[in-house]
């Protein structure tokens, strides 16, 4: 069975993706602390009435173990810790892996969300690409996916913009995204576009707040 590892998977988005991906993959919930990862797995099993696929396919691990052992990785840590986290795990990557950054460039001031850029410019995904060896494919995706809706396993129909360092990387990321019911990956182009993808979260959160829309997401109908 193919493996997916969630770096910082103990948070809202990590938990949400884990409950869906465990239907098809062996999923490792990663954390800086093995105890926290174990307690998160226990909580998810309890909240989801220990579904049989979760019991079999959900495992706790330290982030470094996740990075060493998984074919595909999803980075689900706050943007302010994203680059330091990748740097600290650098020696654990074994290569021939896919890393999808779900990191959104979003901050909050007073009652408004804003785009909190990478210091020095560019996107988080491009900065991660520069840190990692070429044998790790890098994509940006999931920034527009609301964790609460996904965790509750409510019916969803959403488009997921994906920026990727090559069409081949896009295909790998799209295949994983398509394995989650209700999500449709859409290719936006190279990692140069990741900036735009990472900015969408602040836009969605402000739209939700100002218009009393619960958990808005992206959908691109065509006519």
Task: Give the footprint of ligand NAP on this chain (CB under 6 A).
Answer: 8, 10-14, 31-33, 36, 76-79, 81, 85, 102-104, 106, 142-143, 145-147, 201
CB-wise, 168 or 217, nearer to ligand NAP? 217
CB-wise, 103 or 180, nearer to ligand NAP? 103
Distance CA 116, CA 216 (A): 20
Distance CA 197, CA 141 (A): 7
Provide, rounded to whole angstroms, the least separation between the CB of residue 58 and ligand NAP.
15
Q: CA angle 211-186-199, nearest 5°?
A: 45
CB-wise, 13 or 183, nearer to ligand NAP? 13
| Token output for 172 | 């790998």
Provide, rounded to whole angstroms, the least separation between the CB of residue 45 and ligand NAP.
17
Provide, rounded to whole angstroms, the least separation between the CB of residue 96 and ligand NAP.
25
Query: Which H or E run includes 176?
Result: helix 167-178
At residue 64, the 3 state secondary structure works out as: helix
CB-wise, 62 or 165, nearer to ligand NAP? 62
CB-wise, 140 or 174, nearer to ligand NAP? 140
Q: How many CB atoms sit inside 10 A of residue 155's CB?
A: 7
Provide, rounded to whole angstroms, the least separation between the CB of residue 14 and ligand NAP.
5
Provide, rounded to whole angstroms, the least separation between the CB of residue 81 and ligand NAP.
4
Provide, rounded to whole angstroms, the least separation between the CB of residue 52 and ligand NAP.
26
Rama region for 127: left / alpha / beta (φ>0; ψ in -120 to 50; rest): alpha
**Whose structure tokens read 């999803």?**
74
CB-wise, 8 or 25, nearer to ligand NAP? 8
* Alpha-carbon distances of 211 from 144, 206, 214, rounded to whole Å: 17, 8, 9
């Amino acid at each position: 069975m193919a493996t997916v590892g969630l770096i910082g998977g103990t948070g809202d988005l990590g938990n949400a993706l884990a409950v869906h991906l465990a239907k098809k993959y062996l999923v490792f919930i990663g954390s800086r602390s093995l105890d926290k990862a174990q307690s998160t797995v226990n909580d998810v099993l309890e909240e989801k009435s220990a579904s049989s696929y979760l019991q079999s396919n959900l495992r706790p691990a330290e982030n470094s173990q996740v990075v060493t052992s998984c074919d595909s990785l999803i980075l689900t840590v706050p943007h302010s810790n994203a680059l330091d986290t990748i740097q600290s795990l650098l020696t654990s990557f074994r290569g021939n892996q896919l890393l999808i950054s779900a990191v959104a460039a979003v901050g909050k001031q007073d009652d408004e969300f804003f785009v909190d850029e990478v210091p020095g410019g560019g996107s988080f995904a491009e900065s991660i690409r520069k840190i990692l060896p070429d044998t790790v494919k890098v994509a940006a995706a999931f920034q527009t996916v609301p964790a609460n809706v996904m965790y509750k396993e409510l019916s969803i129909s959403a488009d997921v913009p994906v920026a990727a360092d090559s069409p081949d990387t896009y295909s790998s990321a799209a295949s994983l995204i398509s394995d989650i019911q209700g999500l449709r990956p859409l290719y936006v182009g190279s990692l140069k576009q990741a900036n735009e993808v990472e900015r969408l979260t602040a836009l969605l959160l402000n739209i939700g707040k100002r218009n009393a829309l619960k958990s808005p997401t992206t959908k691109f109908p065509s006519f």
